Structure 1
Amino acid sequence: MLVEDIMKTEVITLNPTATIEEALLLLQKNKIRHLPIVDDEKQVIGIVSDRDVRDASPSTFLKDADSSELNNEIQTIMSHPVITIHPMDFVEEIAAIFYDKEIACLPVVSNNRLVGIITEKDMLYTLIQLTGTHVQSSLIEVKVPHRPGILPEVAAIFGKRKTNIVSVLIYPYQSDPDYKILVFRIQTLNPMPVIQDLREAGYQLLWPNNIAEPRR
């Protein structure tokens, strides 16, 4: 999935000479948390968050607070330089930027011009879509040897039952490099037939656990 598939293209921005008060009003009116600061050519030169604006605003608990600080230009509190991404970047890769840099918003830039924005909330929603948790489904975890061809082998068992696979995740098995865990979300309310097929094929299920169902 590409950044252009999930980015918001209607981005509210400010120029660097706008006041902190203008930023505060925009954030409150539009219920957003970040404002890219752009020049006349829509090049990103900074970014401010709702926290930056709150920290620069007079305290609401002080009667005689000096509100003149709100007249300061937004460029006096903006963060810069700004980490940006491209519309053709992969979503999975920019997730690492959010984590490593501990940031909550990334402007999207093409040809040095702002074309969109992605937030932590956008990333979380995308993760929900990629993992299939937004679809009514059943989850199955299978421990398998880490070798070529193992995924289609296991998936073939679902195919025999004509079971629709919503998503597949693969991750390491603890610290053992010889094994992987395949996590399938399947679109069925009764996963027991395919679970039994997996057990009969000799695969170890971590979820549901590998205890055989009692015979009735």
Structure 2
Amino acid sequence: MFIADYMTTDPVTITADITLTEARQLLDDHHFRHLPVVDGAKKLIGVVSDRDLRLAYPSTVIEDEERERIFQIVERTPVTAIMTANCSCIGIDATLDDALLVFERDKVGALPVVTDDDVVIGIFSMRDLTAAYKKLFGAAEKGSSLIAVLDEGKTTRSLSRIASLLEDNDVQCTRLIKIAQESGFDRIYMRVNTYKVSNVHKLLQDSGFTLLKP
């Protein structure tokens, strides 16, 4: 799956001359957390986050007079003073796995999506990634249940056996994956569309599979 299917297209962007106050107002108005900063050609030059802006504003424990002085400075300060330059970004052809690795490596909450010429055409956030994987693995699908069994190596082609077993018994299986473990038996996860989960449990156990429980 590709990030293009889940990213926000034509995101709100700002230019380098926008002040911190204006940037904060944009975030408040649109209810998002990141603003790509672009030049006149819409090319990416940085990112400003809601966290960056919060840190720029004075603490509530500061004396009123000092807070007012800092507010006046903030009101005329451009976003370039606090933005992250040379920020992380990602290409339009990236997969969900590509994005996950960048999020993990760079510890960021959103990635501007750019063309080969660094023109911003979208933004992809951790929230988008969560929604994508939720759909990919069928979480919250009505009438679906996730079942896990141990692959104890008693038989070969365990995935094929499970797929055939479920199909032969008219159990709709929408996801079937095997995850290797560093120690112990591998695990097989399946998502089935049925309200009679106990029947599927019995079917698997009768066929020699061990159910995985917490």
TM-score range with shorter-chain normalisation?
0.7 to 0.9
Q: Is the 8 A contact 1:56 1:70 kept in 2?
A: no
Q: Is the 8 A contact 1:57 1:70 kept in 2?
A: no
Counterpart in 2 of 1:38? 38
Counterpart selection for 2:108 from 103, 106, 122: 103
Counterpart in 2 of 1:85? 90
2:64 is equivalent to residue 63 of structure 1: yes
User: Structure 1: 5+ residue runs without aligned partners?
Assistant: 210-216
Q: TM-score, normalised by structure 2?
A: 0.88
2:8 aligned counterpart, secondary structure:
coil
Q: Which amino acid aligns with 2:39?
A: D
Counterpart in 2 of 1:8? 8
Measured in 2, the distance between the counterparts of 1:157 and 1:7 equals 38
- State percent identity of aligned pairs: 28
- 131-140 vs 17-26, greater mean Cα deviation: 131-140
Once the 2 structures are TM-superposed, how far is the Cα of residue 60 of structure 1 from its aligned partner?
A: 4.8
Counterpart in 2 of 1:150? 158
Counterpart in 2 of 1:202? 208
1:173 aligned counterpart, secondary structure:
coil
Once the 2 structures are TM-superposed, how far is the Cα of residue 134 of structure 1 from its aligned partner?
A: 1.7
2:136 is equivalent to residue 130 of structure 1: yes
2:181 is equivalent to residue 180 of structure 1: no
Counterpart in 2 of 1:139? 146
Q: Is the 8 A contact 2:159 2:178 kept in 1?
A: no
1:95 aligned counterpart, secondary structure:
helix
Q: TM-score, normalised by structure 1?
A: 0.87
Counterpart in 2 of 1:212? none
Measured in 2, the distance between the counterparts of 1:34 and 1:51 equals 9
Once the 2 structures are TM-superposed, how far is the Cα of residue 206 of structure 1 from its aligned partner?
A: 1.0
Q: Which amino acid aligns with 1:115?
A: I
2:117 is equivalent to residue 117 of structure 1: no
1:11 aligned counterpart, secondary structure:
coil
Q: Is the 8 A contact 2:10 2:122 kept in 1?
A: yes
User: Structure 2: 5+ residue runs without aligned partners?
Assistant: none
Instruction: Give me the CA root mean square deviation.
Output: 2.0
Counterpart selection for 2:198 from 182, 192, 195: 192
Structure 2 CA distance for partners of 1:196 and 1:148, relative to 1, 3 Å: closer
Measured in 2, the distance between the counterparts of 1:68 and 1:103 equals 27
Once the 2 structures are TM-superposed, how far is the Cα of residue 125 of structure 1 from its aligned partner?
A: 1.5
Number of aligned positions between the proteins? 206
Once the 2 structures are TM-superposed, how far is the Cα of residue 142 of structure 1 from its aligned partner?
A: 1.2
Counterpart in 2 of 1:166? 174
Structure 1's consecutive aligned runs of 4 or more residues displaced over 4 angstroms after TM superposition are 145-148
Once the 2 structures are TM-superposed, how far is the Cα of residue 148 of structure 1 from its aligned partner?
A: 7.0
